[in-house]
Amino acid sequence: MKTYLPTQFVVERRADRCIQCQVCVRQCSFDANYYDAEDDEVRSRDEKCVGCHRCVTFCPTGALTVRKNPLEYRPNCNWTAETIEDIYKQAESGGMLLTGMGNDKSYPIYWDHLLLNASQVTNPSIDPLREPMELRTYLGRKPDRVEIDPETLSLKTKLTPQVAIEVPVLFSAMSYGAVSLNVHESLARAATEAGTLFNTGEGGLHKKLYKYGNNTIVQVASGRFGVHAEYLNAGRIVEIKIGQGAKPGIGGHLPGEKVSPEVAATRMIPAGTDALSPAPHHDIYSIEDLSQLIYALKEATNYTKPISVKIAAVHNAAAIASGIVRAGADIVAIDGLRGSTGAAPKVIRDNVGIPIELALASVDQRLRQEGIRNQASIIAAGGIRSSADVIKAIALGADAVYIGTAALIALGCHVCQQCHTGKCAWGICTNDAVLSKRINPEIGAERLVNLLRGWSLEIKDMLGGMGVNALESLRGNRLALRGVGLTDTELDILGVRMAGS
Amino acid sequence: MIKPVATHNNPYGDDKVIAACSIFGVIDTSGKTFPGTDVVTAIANMHDRSNGLGGGFAVYGLYPEMADHYAFHIMYMTADAKRQVEALLKESFKIVKSEEVPTRKTERISNPPLVWRYFLDVAGNGDHPEADFVMEKVMAINCGVQDAFVFSSGKNMGVFKGVGYPEDIAHYFRLDDYLGYLWTAHGRFPTNTPGWWGGAHPFNILDWTVVHNGEISSYGINRRHLEMFGYQCTLQTDTEVVAYAVDLLMRRHNLPLEIAVKVLAPPLWSQIEREKDGTRALQIALRQVYGSLLLNGPFAVIIARTGQMIGLTDRIRLRPLVAGSKGSCLYLSSEESAIRLVCPDLENSWIPVGGEPIVGTVGKPIATTKSEAAVMARDH
């Protein structure tokens, strides 16, 4: 069938610069650049280009640039290019539209409507270059109070397991299978060096990475891929994945092509078979079942590890989170509307769930109203882009945040949304033997550590500016925030006052 | 229906009411009572640290003949408020004695409210802890009755405060008529409010009082944490959270003083790591559990309760506090000059290290703290 889909990008090649070296041909995994042997010339097939900039970045003479195809439809606010082309795609394929990365729609980004405070006159700002500034955070359930032996003044209360992180940013769940082993290793090494944690995602943990277990969150998802006693005990935290912000309410699908022998061994499935995780956990049909799984995992790990439960931010997230805490979870991770994915139905990614800012604010507030906020840590996820987003999330009430896309961007991701194709030219979201070598774990870890270091410095500067020297004094301190361009209802849900008030 | 106390204290609806200040306190650890003359002289010497929009005093050992009864000092702005509160008191307490707090006419104090004192016995609280019962009634008056506010609610102690310079408040409330073994004083410099009598320091709940110089930058989260434990921060003043935090930690959670102060002004993680195992485990647990009660930002406070006075600054000591001692008396002050003015032959004076409490307790020798030793060593 002839496709009616127009070309998305145009590859422009400056003849005066191109030296016909064919680097662009070798770098492009989408066959957009090719060598025409007959004419002895390097050329491009614009219709194949996904706009990932791999060729542009690696062209030694700077001969290439990629532009959006200037082709215009008749202007129409209702029938945009995207809606028209989605219909072409489905008319030609008869299937669901698949996509990668997070929601790219123009829903409000509340982070960009929240502004931070700073000290002037009545309290001094603190200079982090000269004074200590503390970011350490402990994840895990906290009791209401501590008890002290009055004789010896020693601690009588025994706290349940607590995990220290030196920067309130963790690497979000990205499975081995969806991403390559080199990406997993980059994340694991960076987490270890920066004093934080990476999350295995639902595909198990490669044996080679067990040595980073102290900085690993091992995930248990509905497919139970790669879950066994040794795996559970290898990690520092065990996370039950109920939902994901990019695709609330549905399961996962790793196509057989990506299930290499190594992926298969780690997932404990035959090589080349599709790895399908069901939409629900088939042993969790309600909250009491979740409680059983939480305690089964606590038993399996001898009560040495906090248990996290990750949910997608949905309409009644506050009530669900309250139930999760009462069910025994030590950590609640909430993944918002803009959370990313290796592959998801586009209609779900773009239309299901709520923004993390609103979900986080309402969960924190609900847990406080019920007097149980201390019983679980909250990790906010889904679209965290910068240290400013991190610090705003903490002021709204998060203990820490997960970053997924931001971490991949640090590794080279250009957010071209081709994750589901397995052809990632940057070697990130692929298990192609050649492509995945494009990530060197040593360099990858260095780039990630640099990012976290930069963000830490920025967070310390902002904290000091607000006159506090410990992150816990900002956590849930919504007086540190003011809103701009928000309705009263939005301000009310965020628990934040209008700027100027 | 919660009355808008905040509209008196915080008419512009600011996040919190902030004020800079002078603070002074003295305790005779022998328990001997003495008049407040020196305290008034000392706080008046720091006149320029306040601006006439608030002054106040807490006195312990104030009512020895009524020491077993809760002494309530209540401020009324209308006669109707007094009727309502008295009806509420009659329901919950046996009123042993009720009288107006004597005052002296002075042109330097304008529009004073009526301040009344009651001596009360708790009647019929069932198996509810008596202190919790009293606390709830105080909250009920402060939140529920228009134009009434409880200045203090402990036994054998009382708070006198209002809008004016502290020396004028002392004159107005005839403090020269009273004796106490522990006095704290406050002169206020609010940056934003016209001044409301209830908003002056000391702040009180039960027998706890707090006078405070500084701004608690962590107020937003301190307040939200205390709300989980039933405290209503009606005044929207950062000092209020200090009073409630010490009540929660020391009375309800039964933490010894030296541990409670590690919650309010904890050591840095880097210091905690250098501690011995037991201490380290304790201090880590305190920060894990009570991180939301860390008082962050610049402060110096004098916290007092029956038989004890505690001075504390924030952990990086952004506000002044000087300690001095002579014989059985411990002095705390924003400025050393105020102590030396009333006690020229002071035996010791030192600047406490941030986050380390200076404690005077009746019946105990004045503690020589680590910081004292360190500072003295540095001086010599």
pLDDT at B2: 43
pLDDT in tens, A209-218: 999 999 999 9
Which sequence spans correspond to the domains of chain A? 9-71, 137-498
Measured from the Cβ of residue A93, the count of other Cβ atoms closer than 10 Å reads 12
| 3-class secondary structure, B293 | helix
pLDDT in tens, B139-197: 899 888 888 999 999 999 999 999 999 999 999 999 999 999 999 999 988 766 667 88
Query: Cα–Cα distance between A390 and A457 in angstroms, integer?
Result: 12
Residue type at B139?
M
Q: Report how many Cβ contacts below 8 Å link chain A to chain B.
A: 121
For residue A306, give how far its alpha carbon lies from the nearest alpha carbon of chain B (Å). Answer: 14
For residue A143, give how far its alpha carbon lies from the nearest alpha carbon of chain B (Å). Answer: 6
For A123, the closest of B259, B288, B297 (CB atoms) is B297
Which residue's entry shows tokens 């040495």? A304
DSSP code string of B122-148: E---TTS-HHHHHHHHHHHHHHHSTTE
| A 150-179: CB under 8 A from B | 150, 153-155, 157, 159, 162
Q: Is A125 on the interface with B (CB under 8 A)?
A: no
Query: Cα–Cα distance between A158 and A147 in angstroms, integer?
Result: 9
Angstrom CA distances, B130 to A166, B124, B286, stand at 44, 10, 27
Q: Which residues of B touch A144 (CB under 8 A)?
A: 289
Q: Is the dihedral of CA A327, A333, A336, A342 positive or negative?
A: negative
For residue B309, give how far its alpha carbon lies from the nearest alpha carbon of chain A (Å). Answer: 20
C-beta of residue A72 within 8 angstroms of C-beta of residue A84:
no
For domain A9-71, give the fold: Alpha-Beta Plaits (3.30.70)
Report the residue of chain B nearest A117, measured CA to CA: B217
* φ/ψ of residue B132, rounded to 5: -65, -40
DSSP state of A304: -
Mean of pLDDT values over B353-377: 74
For residue A354, give how far its alpha carbon lies from the nearest alpha carbon of chain B (Å). Answer: 25
Which string of b and e fits B273-291 if b means at least 16 CB within 10 Å?
eeeeeebebbbbbbbbbbb
Mean of pLDDT values over B241-249: 94
Structure-model confidence comparison of residues B378 and A399, the more confident one: A399
| 3-class secondary structure, A102 | coil
Question: A9-71 and A137-498: same fold?
Answer: no
Query: Cα–Cα distance between A159 and A145 in angstroms, integer?
Result: 10
- A109, burial (CB in 10 Å: exposed 0-12, middle 13-18, buried 19+): middle
Query: Cα–Cα distance between A403 and A407 in angstroms, integer?
Result: 6
Lowest-confidence pick of A120-129, B125-134, B331-340? B125-134
Which of the listed ranges A145-154, A200-209, B49-58 does the model predict with the highest average pLDDT? A200-209
pLDDT at B8: 62
Confidence of residue A268 (pLDDT cuts 50, 70, 90): very high
Residue B21 appears among annotated catalytic residues? yes
CATH superfamily of A137-498: Aldolase class I (3.20.20.70)
Angstrom CA distances, A319 to A240, A316, A364, B245, B348, stand at 18, 6, 11, 29, 58
Mean of pLDDT values over B324-340: 96
| 3-class secondary structure, B84 | helix
For A476, the closest of B13, B221, B282 (CB atoms) is B221
Is the model's pLDDT at B331 over the cut of 80?
A: yes
Mean of pLDDT values over A351-358: 98
C-beta of residue B156 within 8 angstroms of C-beta of residue B59:
no
For residue B298, give how far its alpha carbon lies from the nearest alpha carbon of chain A (Å). Answer: 6
Q: Which residues of B touch A145 (CB under 8 A)?
A: 253, 289
Is the model's pLDDT at B377 over the cut of 70?
A: no
Partners of B336 in the beta sheet? none
Lowest-confidence pick of A430-434, B116-120, B183-187, B314-318? B314-318
Q: Is B110 on the interface with A (CB under 8 A)?
A: no
Rg of chain A, C-alpha, whole Å: 24
Is the model's pLDDT at B379 over the cut of 50?
A: no
Q: Do A146 and B287 touch (CB under 8 A)?
A: no
- A42, burial (CB in 10 Å: exposed 0-12, middle 13-18, buried 19+): buried
pLDDT at B20: 66
Confidence of residue B239 (pLDDT cuts 50, 70, 90): confident
Which residue's entry shows tokens 């999760």? A324
| Mutation choice for A interface testing from B21, B192, B212, B221 by most A CBs within 10 A | B221
Q: Which residues of A touch B288 (CB under 8 A)?
A: 138, 140, 142, 159, 162
Confidence of residue A252 (pLDDT cuts 50, 70, 90): confident
Mean of pLDDT values over A480-499: 97
Q: Is A501 on the interface with B (CB under 8 A)?
A: yes
For B288, the closest of A123, A159, A477 (CB atoms) is A159
| HEC secondary structure over B50-82 | CCCCCEEEEEECCCHHHCCCEEEEEEECCHHHH
Is the model's pLDDT at A76 over the cut of 80?
A: yes
Q: Is B186 on the interface with A (CB under 8 A)?
A: no
Q: Is A143 on the interface with B (CB under 8 A)?
A: yes
Report the residue of chain B nearest A367, measured CA to CA: B228
What value does the mean pLDDT of chain B take? Answer: 89
**Which structure tokens are listed for B182?**
């522990």
Residues 6+ apart with CB under 8 A from B57: B36, B39, B159, B160, B161, B166, B169, B170, B173, B175, B183, B184, B185, B186, B202
What value does the mean pLDDT of chain A take? Answer: 96
| 3-class secondary structure, A83 | helix
